[in-house]
Amino acid sequence: ELKVEQNPLFLSMQEGKNYTIYCNYSTTSDRLYWYRQDPGKSLESLFVLLSNGAVKQEGRLMASLDTKARLSTLHITAAVHDLSATYFCAVDDSYGGSQGNLIFGKGTKLSVKP
């Protein structure tokens, strides 16, 4: 059974600081996703990581995937208040190309304070 562990679950940051959110998963997968959720809203797709060593950046966020270590990271650079939200990683429980179901981590609630 695929399990996804995300940490930390809560993160309070000061503006301008850097931090990393970690996502570990338990079985082989080659598709990992990062989503953002604002209170009362649905999920917004941030990154789709499809191969070992994949690195993607968008603004102050950068995500990477190490399939051998079964680890993905979401790095936040020079945080700003607008980044306050809950961030979820999710792993596709299929392997080898077929469409599968997403298994979500518990989410990291990020609060960026002035």
Partner 1 sequence: GAVVSQHPSWVICKSGTSVKIECRSLDFQATTMFWYRQFPKQSLMLMATSNEGSKATYEQGVEKDKFLINHASLTLSTLTVTSAHPEDSSFYICSASDQGRDWRGYTFGSGTRLTVV
The owner of tokens 């309070």 is 12
Q: Any contact of residue 88 with partner 1 (CB under 8 A)?
A: yes
> Residue 78 Cβ, how far from partner 1 at the closest point, in Å?
26
Query: Between 53 and 82, how does the x/- string for binding to partner 1 read (CB under 8 A)?
Result: ------------------------------
**Nearest CB to partner 1, comparing residues 50 and 78:** 50
Single out the residue of 42, 51, 69, 82 in contact with partner 1 (rule: CB under 8 A).
42
> Tokens 């997968």 label which residue?
29
Q: Under the criterion CB under 8 A, does residue 104 sit at the interface with partner 1?
A: yes
Whether the upstream peptide bond of residue 114 has omega within 30° of 0, thus cis, is no
Tell me, what DSSP letter sits at residue 61?
E
Q: State the Cα angle at 77 between 73 and 81, rounded to 5°.
A: 110
Shortest spacing between CB 20 and partner 1, in angstroms: 20
- 3-state DSSP call for residue 81? helix
